[in-house]
Amino acid sequence: VLERLRNPWPDHRAERTLGAVSSLVCVLVVAMVVFVGIHAWPTFQHNGLSWLGSGTDLGRQIADQQNTTQHPPPSAYHLRAWPVIYGTLLTTGVAVVMALAISVFSSIFIVELAPARLRRLAIPVIRLLASVPSVIYGLIGILVLVPFVGNELITSAEKNSVQNVVELTGAGLGVTVVILTVMITPIMVALICEALVSVPSSWREGAIALGVNPLRAVLAVTVRAARPAIVAAAVLATARALGGAIMISMVSGSRAFSPKPIDGLVFLFEPLRTLASGIVDYHEGIGAPALGATLYAFALLLLFSAFVLSIAGYLIKLPLRRYQVRG
Amino acid sequence: MSAYTRRRPPIAPPPGPPMKTGRGRRSSPMTWRWGDRLALAFAWSAGIGLCLIAAAIVGYMGYRGVQYLRPGLLFDRPTLSTTQSGSGGFLDPLIGTALLTAIGVLLAVPLAVGGALWIAEYGRPTWLARVVESSIEMVAGTPDIVIALFGLSIFQLGLFAPFSFKASGGGVFGKSFIAAGAMMSLIALPPLFTATRDGLQAVPEHMREAAFALGKTRIATIRRVLLPSVSSNIATGVTLGVSRIIGDTAIVVLLLGETLRLDPQGSAPGIGLLRGTGSTLTSYVYANSPAGEGGAPEKAYAAAFVLLVFVLGLNLLVDRIGRSQADSTGLTVAGAVV
């Protein structure tokens, strides 16, 4: 009895228990795909893949779905989701490209250029920026940036020019992209800095010894060697940007409108809606079956993109593993 | 032996004038090409700009926080009111945040630590270990709003009805502290798992070998040798997980309902609270911002300031516990950006 008290778990049972606990995570992931898929199914059943296309006025369509009964007719599921998909692609794409440029150069600054004292200051600052909750970014956006843009940057002539189509309040593409960029840049900076540090400094010194100036040596040697890690960081940041729901729902103006580049500068001020922010905007109406199916279809699309990005990140990091460079 | 210790004869200096040493002809940015100079300027301005943005955010929130935060707000319950002065404080959101964090961590720790132990110490069907690792990466990459919808769909099942808030007509909403906490554990899982696994992999092999040589089984080694030596990694992971949980809004908004006050379900004191709905600091900020229906920006600023102070505190805590585990730049701990 004493022996059992002192050693309650035989080894093989412990192994099986821990293995079962670990497998629970796989079960959860499968369950997530299955549950979201089941709830999204009616949408794809009634719309097919043309659901992804453009067509009807999305805002009115969703409002109609909200008012459907508990057993809606098949026609209630009719929806074309292109405006939100376009909004998601637009915000994510622009924010990731901007964040990529800023983060590569600021990582070079932190790793190579900054004096030691400035570097000691910059590192906690970046970590702080990365950990600010998204709702605080949203709050600053909606209470500071949106009124500023709405009152100072948009002229009344610009407001009048699109008066019949959409109302410009300041909330829209520009503010969304700026805040999204600030949100994802620190993550990329942290990952890129790690990668830059792990490239042997003798490679860069060799280039400098050949007469290249230090900055060009960093760009041509260190950054190039760390390229897979930089792409992997961008992939991770894309996943974050796709899921930025609360912040975008607060500052994007929340209208299923597609900003049109033809409108010139006004393009930056036009409101939009993304997949994730659409779920937040309409979550109260999820009880209506047709709307619920639509929201779950948004979620399924997000889940699918997250999986694709996860696999892409893994594939990109493969050459890094081979060279024993951490990324 | 003597071959190694013999001193070499000094090398004769080259003939001619002595070479310039020290700061001679170093490449100065003034001699660079324009493109390089522009890139240099961009690098400096990007780095310093990021620091300025962070300073602006913290400074602005601090200013607003000092302006609007009153000690009474921390101990007042929110009340429904049309004016900002009458709408009470955020005691209930504070309790809600604490409660959700506790549930999330309690559920995540066994899952993450057990998983990390199995991966690092057993991991025997290799394919299963690989599947487990990649599914944790997938959980890490899943947006929180999708996790929230997943939670809604499972807690609306009749099977889980006892865990959540019910309408008077018997409809299951799937909203409760238990539902939100369970989904929060998924948010906290990846950093906790990674921190523990990296800690276990950093334990030198000879410690395990010494334990095996003393006749300990694997599980005894884990309990007596490995767990004590990775406890600080687990603590770092918990801190990272907690800072994820208290910063998350989407799960709270979808799974905890819109009531700002704690709204227990049923009469049993403890269980009723867990089955009921409520709010957290993040959902309080959201509800009081112009995006929610509250429209009390002063309260939103005050609550956001408290939230930011919590996040800063956790940041410092990670710094304190995790200094030895931080990667070479000190920017990431256990593969997670803190």
Which string of DSSP letters, residue by residue, matches A59-80?
HHHHHHHHT--SS--GGGG---
- Tell me the per-residue pLDDT of B4-25, one tens digit each, with 9 for 90 and over: 555 666 666 555 555 555 444 5
- Which residues in chain A have Cβ-Cβ distances shorter than 8 Å to B307? 133, 135-136
- Tell me the per-residue pLDDT of B38-69, one tens digit each, with 9 for 90 and over: 888 899 999 999 999 999 999 999 999 888 88
Instruction: Tell me what pLDDT residue A252 has.
Output: 83
Partner-chain residue, chosen from B139, B249, B312, that has the shortest CB–CB distance to A29: B139
CB contact under 8 A, B136 and A36: no
**Quick one: average pLDDT of B205-211?**
90
Whether residue B248 lies within 8 A of chain A, CB to CB, comes out as yes
Instruction: Tell me what pLDDT residue A327 has.
Output: 40
Cβ-proximal residues to A304 (8 Å cutoff; 6+ apart), any chain? none
Instruction: Tell me what pLDDT residue A4 has.
Output: 60
Instruction: Tell me what pLDDT residue B161 has.
Output: 65
CB contact under 8 A, B189 and A25: yes
Whether residue B240 lies within 8 A of chain A, CB to CB, comes out as no
**Quick one: average pLDDT of B236-249?**
90
Q: Using the predicted structure, report yes or no on whether residue B26 has a pLDDT greater than 60.
A: no
Cα(A283)–Cα(A280) distance, rounded to whole angstroms? 5
CB contact under 8 A, A185 and B138: no
**Quick one: average pLDDT of B308-333?**
76
CB contact under 8 A, B338 and A132: no
Tell me phi and psi for residue A304, to 5 degrees: -60, -45
Q: Using the predicted structure, report yes or no on whether residue B325 has a pLDDT greater than 70.
A: no
Instruction: Tell me what pLDDT residue B1 has.
Output: 44
Whether residue B246 lies within 8 A of chain A, CB to CB, comes out as yes
Question: Nearest C-alpha of chain A: how many angstroms from B87?
Answer: 19
Instruction: Tell me what pLDDT residue A93 has.
Output: 93
Question: Nearest C-alpha of chain B: how many angstroms from A237?
Answer: 10
Whether residue B138 lies within 8 A of chain A, CB to CB, comes out as yes
Q: Using the predicted structure, report yes or no on whether residue A236 has a pLDDT greater than 80.
A: yes
- Which residues in chain A have Cβ-Cβ distances shorter than 8 Å to B286? 135, 138, 246, 250
Residue of B329, B333, B338 for testing the chain A interface, max A β-carbons within 10 Å: B329
**Quick one: average pLDDT of B240-263?**
84
For chain B, what percent of residues have pLDDT higher than 90? Answer: 19
Instruction: Compute CA distances A33 → A18, A37, A38, A266, A290, whole Å.
Output: 24, 6, 8, 39, 20
Question: Nearest C-alpha of chain A: how many angstroms from B336?
Answer: 9
Partner-chain residue, chosen from A17, A25, A125, that has the shortest CB–CB distance to B136: A25
The answer to whether B217 and A11 have CB atoms below 8 angstroms apart is yes
Cα(B334)–Cα(B235) distance, rounded to whole angstroms? 12
By mean pLDDT, which of A3-12, A75-84, A180-189 is the weakest? Answer: A3-12
Nearest chain A residue to B243 by CA: give it. A131
- CB contact residues (below 8 A), chain B span 84-113, against chain A: 110-111
The answer to whether A289 and A57 have CB atoms below 8 angstroms apart is no
CB contact under 8 A, A106 and B338: no
Whether residue B59 lies within 8 A of chain A, CB to CB, comes out as no
Mean pLDDT of chain B: 80
**Quick one: average pLDDT of A292-320?**
86
As given in the structure block, the two tokens for residue B294 are: 């509250």
Q: Using the predicted structure, report yes or no on whether residue A274 has a pLDDT greater than 80.
A: yes
As given in the structure block, the two tokens for residue A235 are: 């992939």
Instruction: Tell me what pLDDT residue B7 has.
Output: 61
- Tell me the per-residue pLDDT of A62-109, one tens digit each, with 9 for 90 and over: 777 777 777 777 777 777 888 888 889 999 999 999 999 999 999 999
Question: Nearest C-alpha of chain B: how many angstroms from A20?
Answer: 9
**Angle in degrees, 0-180, between the axes of helices A289-322 and B144-155, rounded to the nearest 10:** 130
- CB contact residues (below 8 A), chain B span 187-226, against chain A: 189, 217-220, 222
Whether residue B67 lies within 8 A of chain A, CB to CB, comes out as no
> Which pTM value belongs to this model?
0.85
- Which residues in chain A have Cβ-Cβ distances shorter than 8 Å to B329? 110-111, 123, 190, 193-194, 197
- Which residues in chain B have Cβ-Cβ distances shorter than 8 Å to A314? 134, 137
**Chain A / chain B CB contacts < 8 angstroms:** 285
Instruction: Tell me what pLDDT residue A99 has.
Output: 94
For chain A, what percent of residues have pLDDT higher than 70? Answer: 92
CB contact under 8 A, B128 and A129: no
Mean pLDDT of chain A: 83
Instruction: Compute CA distances A119 → A116, A219, A309, B315, B330, whole Å.
Output: 5, 19, 32, 18, 11
ipTM surpasses cut 0.95: no
Question: Nearest C-alpha of chain A: how many angstroms from B53?
Answer: 8
The answer to whether B147 and A34 have CB atoms below 8 angstroms apart is no
pLDDT band at B2 (very low <50, low <70, confident <90, very high): very low
Phi-psi region of B60 (alpha: psi -120 to 50; beta: other; left: phi over 0): alpha
Comparing C-alpha atoms, which of A81, A96, A86, A113 is closest to residue A219? A113
- Which residues in chain B have Cβ-Cβ distances shorter than 8 Å to A8? none
- Tell me the per-residue pLDDT of B102-117, one tens digit each, with 9 for 90 and over: 999 999 999 999 999 9
By mean pLDDT, which of A82-86, B177-181, B268-272 is the weakest? Answer: B268-272
Instruction: Tell me what pLDDT residue B24 has.
Output: 47
Whether residue B297 lies within 8 A of chain A, CB to CB, comes out as yes
**Quick one: average pLDDT of B138-148?**
90
- Which residues in chain B have Cβ-Cβ distances shorter than 8 Å to A299? 145-146, 149-150
As given in the structure block, the two tokens for residue A312 are: 């892409």
Q: Using the predicted structure, report yes or no on whether residue A262 has a pLDDT greater than 60.
A: yes
- Which residues in chain B have Cβ-Cβ distances shorter than 8 Å to A38? 153
By mean pLDDT, which of A181-195, B126-140, B144-158, B291-305 is the weakest? Answer: B291-305
- Which residues in chain A have Cβ-Cβ distances shorter than 8 Å to B308? 132-133, 136
Phi-psi region of A79 (alpha: psi -120 to 50; beta: other; left: phi over 0): beta
